[in-house]
Amino acid sequence: MLVIVAPGQGAQTPGFLSPWLEVDGVADRLRRWSDVAGLDLVRYGTEASADEIKDTAVAQPLLVAAGLVTAGALLPGAEDIAKLVGAVAGHSVGEITAAALAGVLDPADALTFVRERGRAMAEAAAVTETGMLAVLGGDPDEVAAKLAEHGLTPANNNGGGQIVAAGTLDQLAALRADPPAKAKLVALKVAGAFHTRHMAPGVERLAELAPTLTVADPVTRYVSNKDGEVVASGAEVLARLVSQVSNPVRWDLCMETLEQLGATCVIELSPAGTLTGLVKRNVKGVATLALKTPADLDKARELMAEHTGEETSA
> How confident is the model over 116-143, as pLDDT tens digits?
999 999 998 888 889 999 999 999 999 9
Q: What is the pLDDT of residue 312?
A: 54
pLDDT digits (tens, 9 = 90+) for 20-43: 999 999 999 999 999 999 999 999
Q: What is the pLDDT of residue 10?
A: 87
pLDDT grade for 192, boundaries at 50, 70 and 90: confident
Q: What is the pLDDT of residue 12?
A: 95
Q: What is the pTM of this model?
A: 0.93
pLDDT over 70 at 220, yes or no: yes
Find out whether the peptide bond into 271 is cis, omega within 30 degrees of 0. yes
Assess if CATH 3.40.366.10 describes domain 2-125+196-308. yes
Please identify every residue annotated as catalytic: 92, 195
> Sign of the CA dihedral 17, 312, 112, 158?
negative
Put residue 221 in one of left, alpha, beta given phi > 0 → left and psi -120 to 50 → alpha: beta
CATH (one of 3.40.50.280, 3.40.190.10, 3.30.70.250, 3.60.15.10) for 127-187:
3.30.70.250
The SS3 assignment for 301 reads helix
Among 60-74, 114-128, 225-239, which stretch is predicted with the lowest mean pLDDT? 114-128
pLDDT digits (tens, 9 = 90+) for 49-67: 999 999 999 999 999 999 9
Residues 6+ apart with CB under 8 A from 236: none
List the domain boundaries for the chain: 2-125+196-308, 127-187
Contact 180, 152 (CB under 8 A): no
Find out whether the peptide bond into 19 is cis, omega within 30 degrees of 0. no
Q: What is the pLDDT of residue 77?
A: 73
Q: What is the pLDDT of residue 311?
A: 58
pLDDT digits (tens, 9 = 90+) for 254-263: 999 999 999 9
Tell me the average pLDDT across 5-21: 96
First to last CA, the chain: 20
Mean pLDDT of the chain: 94
pLDDT grade for 80, boundaries at 50, 70 and 90: confident
Contact 104, 235 (CB under 8 A): no
CA-closest candidate to residue 288, choices 269, 309, 260, 313: 269
